[in-house]
Amino acid sequence: MSTRDDLQFLALLVHRGHLARAEAEPLLASLKAGEALDDLLESEVGWEADEVARMRRTRGGEIPEIPGFEVLGKLGTGGTADVFKVRDKRKNRMLALKVLNPTATREAPTRKAFIQEARLLEGFDHPNLVRGFGVAKSGSTLFSRMEVIEGSTLLELIDGGQAFDEDAALRIVLDVAAALRYLAEQGVIHRDIKAGNIMFTPSRQVKLIDLGFAAERDAAASPDDSAVGTVAYLSPEAARGGAGADMRSDIYSLGVTLFQLVVGRLPFESSDDQELLRQHIMESLSSPELKSRGFSPHLHYFIERMMAKDLSHRFQSWEELEREISDQLEGRESLDFRSDSTASRSRRRGGRRG
């Protein structure tokens, strides 16, 4: 193997958290002098030969080796974990394995949140919520088992140029709201609602994923706690930090997602997280696109009420939100003067534009 290949592999081991930079740097001079990386990992780092071989075989753990599972491909990558499509050899069924990366595995809070998410999903059963089948460990690899969801996240679709018309976007919001109402009934608040955590399948099924930030309903938080969730979607109270687990914060985040679905961008944008937090706390919602694209006054109302700065001005429950949106959609259908065949074709297309 060439020195260049060894240098690239050493960088990969550092990137994936198998080696600290301080451990890798002393090997560079020997590598450039022509010594083999595998020999150096054994003699200088203290790895066993079979561990070095496993790292080579799996590209530093990029491809997990877990007994009983055949890895068929990677479905996605997040900040702390990778998701793979696998075949469960024992039960001959397809699953998704969410594998915590080595750096995250060594961080106790992240490891705890990963295990909590897996256990929560294992106990839930709702058509708009990803199913979970437990958490396990193989050697140093921590992973959870989930149902495979074919499709893309809403964020991937938006970034790919797909636009959603008003009715399609509201129906997606209704499905997500149904899943969040179910979670609230189980005493859980999601706390990270965003387009990247909502899957959309080719059959138009909506699935809420990733309960990594979930907390017990009404759980108190210390005033010193930092904001929890994804900055671009945070409610004002969450952006300030120290907010308890309140479903109305999720309603705000879902309002941000609804805005993004119909407009194609986020309501507040900045490359600076602190500036984004300030905008969510201080700035009023303003969008020329909402006014210029012919959206109904009802859509304006839904977005503005979901994203109200004052908690008391938002929808106060998922039931209230679902009822008002459902009534609006049913009213629009009853006023649809197109022929039945035209309306049917539109519904099959899902109301997509572009």
Kindly report, residue by residue over 230-285, the tens digit of the pLDDT.
899 999 988 887 666 789 999 999 999 999 999 999 998 888 888 888 888 878 77
Of the candidates 22, 37, 57, which is a domain's last residue?
57
Q: How many secondary structure helices (H) and strands (E) does the chain include?
A: 16, 12
Residue 63 within any structural domain of the chain: no
Instruction: Please report the pLDDT score of residue 163 as a whole number.
Output: 85
At 335, the pLDDT band (50, 70, 90 cuts) reads low
Instruction: Please report the pLDDT score of residue 217 as a whole number.
Output: 77
- Is 206 found in the same domain as 184? yes
- H helices of the chain, in order, are 3-15, 21-24, 28-32, 37-40, 49-57, 102-105, 108-122, 154-159, 166-185, 236-240, 247-263, 273-282, 288-292, 297-306, 318-334, 340-349
Residue 282 within any structural domain of the chain: yes
Active site residues: 192
342 has a pLDDT exceeding 60: no
Percent of the chain with pLDDT over 70: 90
120 has a pLDDT exceeding 60: yes
Residue 276 within any structural domain of the chain: yes
220 has a pLDDT exceeding 80: no
Instruction: Please report the pLDDT score of residue 212 as a whole number.
Output: 86
Burial track 96-112 (b if 16+ CB lie within 10 A, e otherwise): bbbbbbbebbeeeebee
CATH code at position 86 = 3.30.200.20
327 has a pLDDT exceeding 50: yes
Instruction: Please report the pLDDT score of residue 221 as a whole number.
Output: 54
- Is 253 found in the same domain as 128? no
Instruction: Give the residue, 121 or 220, on which the prediction is more confident.
Output: 121
Instruction: Please report the pLDDT score of residue 243 as a whole number.
Output: 62
- Is 315 found in the same domain as 209? yes
Domain of 142 in residue numbering reads as 69-146
104 has a pLDDT exceeding 70: yes
- Is 157 found in the same domain as 139? no
- Is 33 found in the same domain as 163? no
CB 195 within 8 A of CB 154: yes
The set of residues, in sequence order, having a beta carbon less than 8 Å from that of 254 and lying 6+ positions away, is 173, 176, 177, 180, 193, 306
- Is 274 found in the same domain as 345? yes
- Is 193 found in the same domain as 89? no
Token pair recorded at residue 73: 């491909």
Q: How many separate domains does the chain show?
A: 3
Q: In the predicted model, what is the mean pLDDT of residues 179-203?
A: 95
- Is 299 found in the same domain as 238? yes
- Is 157 found in the same domain as 122? no
Task: State the chain's mean pLDDT as an integer.
Answer: 87
Kindly report, residue by residue over 46-68, the tens digit of the pLDDT.
999 999 998 998 888 788 889 99
Residue 64 within any structural domain of the chain: no
301 has a pLDDT exceeding 90: yes
At 182, the pLDDT band (50, 70, 90 cuts) reads very high
Q: CA-CA distance, 167 to 277, in Å (whole number)? A: 30
Residue 131 within any structural domain of the chain: yes
Residue 62 within any structural domain of the chain: no
- Is 167 found in the same domain as 112? no
345 has a pLDDT exceeding 60: no
CB 164 within 8 A of CB 257: no
